[in-house]
Amino acid sequence: MNTLIQDFIQATNAFDVEAALGLFATDAVIDDASVGDAFVGKTRIRDYLEAFFVRYHTVTTLISLKFSGDRQVEAHVGFTGDFGQETGVLMVRIDADGRIDRIDADLD
């Protein structure tokens, strides 16, 4: 799971939306409280990645990981980009096939 989180961060930091999307299950969800919306399915996740990573030149730094069972991890991260600097939490759930099934995201 650690590798999957690192692959996600590497893909988004490279603004490689296709590589990032390849890490998600088809019906995955990103629910981001900081933007007040949930993005369901790969089409909407693409919209999210393009809007909040590519457009704002967001670079993510992993601060720490806290595992919660076999398929869930809490990633504390730092974000820098055109908006400045923020920290936040990504609660990442992995499906049985090793794909990201859900991310609940929020800024600190």
What does the angle CA 6 – CA 76 – CA 40 come to, to the nearest 5 degrees? Answer: 70
Question: Residue 36 — φ and ψ, nearest 5°?
Answer: 70, 35
Tell me the one-letter amino acid at 55.
Answer: R
The set of residues, in sequence order, having a beta carbon less than 8 Å from that of 16 and lying 6+ positions away, is: none
Which pLDDT tens digit goes with each residue over 28-69?
999 999 999 999 999 999 999 999 999 999 999 999 999 988
Name the band, by pLDDT with cuts 50, 70 and 90, for residue 89: very high
The residues, any chain, with a CB within 8 Å of residue 18's CB and separated by 6 or more, are: none
**pLDDT tens digits, residue range 46-55?**
999 999 999 9
